[in-house]
Amino acid sequence: MRSFLAKYATALAGLGVVIWFAATAPAFASAANFTLILKETSFLAILALGFALALVTAELDLSIAEVASLAAVVCGFLVHSGYPPALAIAAGLGVGAACGLANGFAVTVLNVPSLIATLGMAAIAKGLGFMLTQGVAFVGRWPADFTGLARGNFLGVPNLLWWLILASIFAYALVKWTRTGAHLVATGEAEEASRLAGIPTKRMKRLALLLTGLFAGATAVLLAASLSSAAPNMANDHFLYAIAAVLLGMTMFEPGRPNVPGTLVAAFTLKALGNGLILSGAPYYVQDIVLGAIIVGSVALSAGALGRAAFVKRLSFRTAQ
Amino acid sequence: MSVLVRLGAVTKSYGAVEALRGVDLEIRAGDVLALCGDNGAGKSSLVKILSGAHAHDGGVFEIEGKAVRFASPQDALTRGIATIYQELAVAPRLSVAENVFLGSELVRTPLPFVSLLDKKRMRDEALGYLKRLGVDLGDATRPVERLSGGQRQAVAIARALRWDARVVIMDEPTAALGVAETKLVLDLIRRLKDEGRTVVLVSHNMADVVAVATRVAILKAGRKTVDRPVAGLDAAALAQMIVTGREAA
Ligand SMILES: Nc1ncnc2c1ncn2[C@@H]1O[C@H](COP(=O)(O)OP(=O)(O)OP(=O)(O)O)[C@@H](O)[C@H]1O
Ligand SMILES: [Mg+2]
């Protein structure tokens, strides 16, 4: 029982939140509202899964939102200018991956701590986004080939959710079932011991940061397709949410470790919470305050429950070996 | 006995600090070679060269007569040299099986081009390696941080068996251990020797050296000053040699 609670207490709390809003907030429990929450969860969770992959190797990527915005702008620009959707999609993913690659280079070759390297990347991506758009958004009637990525259903399930399912399976299978995944985890758990055991820890960090960028790119393409627009700050609102989802996710399933099921449950819980707060008539700023409390509370809970240095070290400011 | 590893006039500096000033050393098959010397004598520096953690600056480094230069710990492992660092021997939050197979995980290929971790086989085989060392842990899914210090060393040594290392190097494996745990680690070293493996043991504990080592090399200020069989020595005589840097009269 104790170990069950240690693993699922926060997930149960999330369930409690959902039940509470279902009982108190008008329209919360409707099918339409749930679909809305699930769609919102999809963007957030894909971005968060990317953040989680970097964190698995004990690196922070604070550039995810700005990179996603930049990728959305590039993708949106190409669609807007009439280029084939496939090219625009590839460009969006490519921008994300390129930024991730650059982050990996800064962290493992230039030995800049990821906290700083990705903060720098965030500023650069933001600047580039505004440069490309001159501060305005690309909006228009975009081809259905492109917007269909994020709109519509397949087998009765929203397309967005399918993308999330795919991203989740990929991340889960990679981390849990493959040798590369074992090396990613080992790098994050004990970098020096792993290196001495022959694991190419720097390459693992580069791979993780590359994937983080790629996931940010995927989020960007879906956001642009869903909104039929692209603006240089469009992913900003997802930044704190994504970090909160990963950290809250670390309190469940595999306490103390970034994990896929935890991130998914946490992302849904956070979106349900945000949605429920709005439907209950709470002012918009309450969301931010609650989110901040959840971020700090999650880390306190994980670190406290584990009582170990490893977790805190994972999040602390340090240089790559 | 055949010479597995030979160092000739090996030097290593860290900036202005000359940690090794021309060390000759032969490691022969079947030896349990104790590497002794005061703090800062250069023991760990020597170990790092042997293990591929650092490259040597000058001199020769040969394995079975062939010159080598390791660029990474991986190089040393593939040449049959496994090193167990006291602090960094294991990843504490990973399981026993994950630690034994750290860096050399087993996979199975259920479909062409699909290779997945073979967790079950790793669990079973990890326990098998530990049994060979005379340690019964029962559950290979336990995180290593819940094991005793001696058991952790056993897990690290099991990894060396997994690599089928011919030379197992241990840098102060008993430094933080109590009496019973120290005995366990010494038993592990004897098992390695009985399996026909060669052991290099860095130690400040003369009783340990006398108990398990066949040969002792003493370093002083980056030079080797003593290299002789352990037979006929006691702890006090060894300690004396470390202080004076000479063989006792
Ligand atoms: N990474 C490093 N950078 C600078 N100097 C170093 C480094 N590693 C070791 N040294 C220096 O090299 C010399 C030899 O150190 P080494 O660690 O090899 O000694 P040791 O015999 O293992 O000592 P101990 O018994 O204390 O472990 C010392 O003067 C030490 O300060
Ligand atoms: Mg030392």
Spans of all domains in chain A: 2-320
Q: Which atom of ligand 1 is nearest to the CA of B20?
A: 14
Q: Which atom of ligand 1 is nearest to the CA of B172?
A: 27
Q: How far is the CA of B145 from the centre of ligand 1 (A)?
A: 27
- Whether A276 contacts A28, CB under 8 Å: yes
Strand partners, B36: B218
Q: Which of B73, B93, B98 sits opposite A195 (nearest CB)?
A: B73
**Nearest residue in chain A measured CA to CA from B76:** A198
For residue B193, pLDDT beyond 70: yes
User: Which residue of B72, B91, B145 is in closest CB contact with A186?
Assistant: B91
A192 touches chain B (CB under 8 A): yes
Q: Which residue of B10, B43, B209 sits with most ligand 1 atoms within 8 Å of its CB, as the best mutation to test the pocket?
A: B43
A279 touches chain B (CB under 8 A): no
Q: What are phi and psi of A135, to 5 degrees?
A: 85, -10
Q: Among A169, A191, A194, A196, pick the best mutation site for testing chain B contact (most B Cβ within 10 A).
A: A196
The reported pTM is: 0.89
What b/e sequence results for A32-55 when a residue is b if at least 16 CB atoms lie within 10 Å of its CB, and e otherwise? ebeeebbbbbbbbbbbbbbbbbbb
> CA B77, CA B100: separation in Å to the nearest integer?
14
What b/e sequence results for A218-251 when a residue is b if at least 16 CB atoms lie within 10 Å of its CB, and e otherwise? bbbbbbbbbbbbbbbbbbeebbbbbbbbbbbbbb
Ligand 2 midpoint to CA B43 (Å)? 6
Atom of ligand 1 nearest to the CA of B43: 21
- What is the pLDDT, as a whole number, of residue A284? 87
Minimal Cβ distance to B88: which of A183, A193, A199: A193
* Domain spans of chain B, in order of start: 1-80+166-249, 90-164
What count of other Cβ atoms lies within 10 Å of the Cβ of residue A99? 31
Q: How would you label B35-67 residue by residue, b for 16+ Cβ within 10 Å and e otherwise?
A: bbbeeebbbbbbbbbbbbbbebeebebebeeee
Atom of ligand 1 at shortest range from CA of B46 = 18
Tell the residue nearest (CA) to atom 1 of ligand 1: B14
CA quadruple B78, B126, A202, B169: dihedral sign: negative
Question: Which residues in chain B are closer than 8 Å to A176, comparing Cβ atoms?
Answer: 117
Task: Answer whether A186 sits within 8 Å of B159, measured CB to CB.
Answer: no
CATH superfamily of B1-80+166-249: P-loop containing nucleotide triphosphate hydrolases (3.40.50.300)
**Yes or no, beta carbons of B94 and A192 under 8 Å apart:** no
In this predicted structure, what is the pLDDT of residue B1?
A: 64
**B92 contacts on A by Cβ (under 8 Å):** 189-190, 310
Which percentage of chain B shows pLDDT scores above 70?
99
Nearest CB partner across the interface for B117, out of A179, A200, A257: A179
Residue B52: closest CA among chain A residues belongs to which residue? Answer: A196
Complex prediction ipTM:
0.86
In this complex, the residue of A176, A182, A256 whose CB is nearest that of residue B105 is: A182
B146-166 burial string, b = 16+ CB within 10 Å, else e?
Answer: ebebbbbbbbbbbbbbbbebb
What was the pLDDT predicted at B244?
87
- Residue A304: predicted pLDDT: 65
Q: Beta strand A157-158 with A153-154: parallel, antiparallel or unpaired?
A: antiparallel
Give mean pLDDT in consecutive 10-residue pieces for chain A, a chain of 321 residues.
79 88 87 92 97 96 97 94 93 98 97 95 95 86 87 88 97 97 96 91 97 98 92 90 94 91 95 90 88 88 60 50 37
For residue A74, what are the CA distances in angstroms to A20, A39, A50, A78, A146? 41, 23, 20, 6, 14
Which residues are within 8 A (CB) of A148 and not within 5 positions of it... i.e. 6 or more apart?
A159, A225
Ligand nearest to the CA of B12: 1
Q: What is the pLDDT of residue B248?
A: 64
- The pLDDT tens digits of the residues spanning B228-239 come to 998 888 888 889
CB contact under 8 A, A190 and B93: yes
> Ligand 1: residues whose CB is within 6 Å?
B 14, 17, 19, 37, 39-45
Residue B219 Cα, ligand 2 centroid: separation in angstroms? Answer: 12
Instruction: Determine which residue's CA is closest to atom 25 belonging to ligand 1.
Output: B39
Chain-centroid distance, C-alpha A200: 25
Instruction: Tell me if A198 and B83 make a contact (CB, 8 A cut-off).
Output: no
Q: Judging by beta carbons within 10 Å of its beta carbon (0-12, 13-18, 19+), is residue A133 exposed, middle or buried? A: buried
Number of A to B CB contacts under 8 A, please give it. 69
For residue B7, what are the β-bridge partners? B25, B61
The top-level CATH class assigned to A2-320 is mainly alpha
For residue B102, list chain A residues with Cβ-Cβ distance below 8 A: 186, 193-194, 197, 199
Q: Centre a 10 Å sphere on the Cβ of residue B93 and count the other Cβ atoms it contains.
A: 22
**Average pLDDT of B142-159?**
91
B59 bridge partner residues? none
DSSP-assigned beta bridge partners for residue B23: B10
Q: Is residue B99 scored above 50 in pLDDT?
A: yes
For residue A256, list chain B residues with Cβ-Cβ distance below 8 A: 93
Percent of chain B with pLDDT over 90: 73
- If one residue of B12, B13, B14 were mutated to test the ligand 1 pocket, choosing by the most ligand atoms within 8 A of its CB, it would be B14
Q: Does A177 touch chain B (CB under 8 A)?
A: yes
Residue B108 β-bridge partners: B116
The two structure tokens encoding residue A16: 């409690």
- Give the span between the Cα atoms of B43 and B51, in whole angstroms: 12
